[in-house]
Structure 1
Amino acid sequence: MHIRLYTKTNCPLCEKAKAVLTELQADYSFTIEEIDIYQDDALLEKYQLMIPVIELDGEEIGYGMIEKEMVRKRLRQAQKG
């Protein structure tokens, strides 16, 4: 499984989301790709008010205040296939 974490610099919510994902890696096998939206104008336009955004295998599963249990549930579903 692969998670893309769309972030920006100086973003406390982004840091919290990253911490949640790092904790969940202890229970689930997935990679994290962190993407700074300020490096891509299209991403900046798409996500600027939603940051952070978590995308699991190409599907947006959460943004803003990231709830650990919501992400855990989605990871569990994805793992079962």
Structure 2
Amino acid sequence: MHIIFYTKEICPLCDDAEALLSSFEVDYPHTLEKRDIHSREEWLAEYQLQTPVIEINGEQMNCEEISFNTIEAFLKKHSERN
């Protein structure tokens, strides 16, 4: 499974979300493509107030939705599609 992870420097929420994703690597193998929102203006405009954002197969969850349980459910949902 391929995950796109929108992040930025000095972002404790991003660090926590990335650690949670890492903790699920064994049960839900994935590749993580990290995208710094400051590297493209369109990403900055879209995600500035929402980082971190996790995207799988075009579906996204933002910082307000991210927790251990929601990440696990999101990964499970998308692993069943493959």
Same fold (TM over 0.5): yes
Counterpart position of 1:50? 50
Q: Deviations over 1:30-75 (max 9, x none)?
A: 1111100000000000000001101012211x21152121111121
Q: Secondary structure at the match of 1:6?
A: strand
Percent of aligned pairs sharing the same letter: 39
CA distance in 1, matches of 2:53, 2:80: 23
Aligned residues: 80
CA distance in 2, matches of 1:38, 1:73: 29
Runs of 4+ in structure 1 off by over 3 angstroms are: none
TM-score (norm: length of structure 2)? 0.90
Q: CA deviation at 1:4?
A: 0.7
TM-score (norm: length of structure 1)? 0.91
CA distance in 1, matches of 2:51, 2:78: 23
> Which residue identity is paired with 1:11?
C
